[in-house]
A and B are shown apart, each in its own frame.
Chain A
Amino acid sequence: ETGVTQTPRHLVMGMTNKKSLKCEQHLGHNAMYWYKQSAKKPLELMFVYNFKEQTENNSVPSRFSPECPNSSHLFLHLHTLQPEDSALYLCASSQGRLQSSYNEQFFGPGTRLTVL
C-alpha cells in the first residue's frame, strides 16, 4: 500500500455515460496528478493540482474534467468518452514543492477503464 487509493478499480461505460473516478491520498502531500497509461505508450500526464490549484493541463480533451476539492482528494469526471479512451488511469501524489525537484511520486492502484 502506497497511501494512495483509487475507486473504482474497474469501470465499463458506454460512450454516452457520465462517471467519475476518485482518488484519495493519506500521505499529507500537496500535489496530486492524473495519468493515463495505454498499452505500448509512456505514462501520459493529464492534470496536476498543487495546493488544490490546477497547475498543469496537458492538452487533455474537455470530456475529461478534473476536480480537486482539497489536497487529499482528486476526481476525474468522465463524459461522452470514446473507445480510444480505454486505458489504465493512475492517480499519484507528491510533496508538491514547486521550487524543488525532490518530489517523489507515489501511485494509486489505478482504474482500468473500458469504453464500449
Chain B
Amino acid sequence: QKEVEQNSGPLSVPEGAIASLNCTYSDRGSQSFFWYRQYSGKSPELIMFIYSNGDKEDGRFTAQLNKASQYVSLLIRDSQPSDSATYLCAVNRAGNQFYFGTGTSLTVIP
C-alpha cells in the first residue's frame, strides 16, 4: 500500500470553476499535511499546510483534513489558467520523514 495516494488525472476544469484535488494516506500516525504546486520543469512550491481536522482557507485555496477518513483535499476557487500545474500531496509523521504522492495534473481551460 502506498503511503500517499492521489489521482494522477489529468483533471480539467473551465476557468472560474472550482478545482477539487484529493489525497489519501495510509499511516494514522501522520500529523501534518502539505500541498505543493509544481509547474513543468520547476521545483515544488508550498501552497498550503494543515495540521488539524477541518478546513483552512488561504485566498482562493482551501485545504480540508479528515483524519478519521485519512483524507486531505485541496479546493481551488475561481480557477485561473495560471493554476495549471501538478499538485503534490505530502504527509509528515513526527520528525523528518515526508511522503509524497505522485501528483495530480490540473489543467484550467480558458
Contact A101 B43 (CB under 8 A): no
Contact B44 A101 (CB under 8 A): no
Question: Which chain B residue shows the least CB distance to A4?
Answer: B43
Contact A107 B102 (CB under 8 A): no
CB neighbours (8 Å) of A56 from chain B are: 96-97
Query: Interface digits, B10-37 against A, CB 8 Å rule (1 contact, 0 not)?
Result: 0000000000000000000011101010
Least Cβ–Cβ distance between A16 and chain B, in angstroms = 28
CB proximity to A under 8 Å, residues B30-76: 30-32, 34, 36, 42-46, 49, 51
Q: Does B106 contact A (CB under 8 A)?
A: no
Contact A102 B51 (CB under 8 A): yes
Contact B96 A110 (CB under 8 A): no
Contact B49 A101 (CB under 8 A): no
Contact residue range for chain B? 20 to 34
Contact A104 B49 (CB under 8 A): yes
Least Cβ–Cβ distance between A52 and chain B, in angstroms = 13
Contact A55 B96 (CB under 8 A): yes
Q: Does A103 contact B (CB under 8 A)?
A: yes
CB proximity to B under 8 Å, residues A63-95: 88, 90, 94
Contact A101 B51 (CB under 8 A): yes
| Besides the known contacts A42-B100, A109-B42, 19 further A-B residue pairs in the complex with CB atoms under 8 A apart | A2-B45, A31-B96, A40-B102, A41-B102, A43-B44, A45-B99, A50-B96, A55-B95, A56-B96, A94-B96, A98-B94, A99-B95, A101-B31, A102-B51, A105-B34, A105-B46, A106-B46, A107-B43, A107-B44
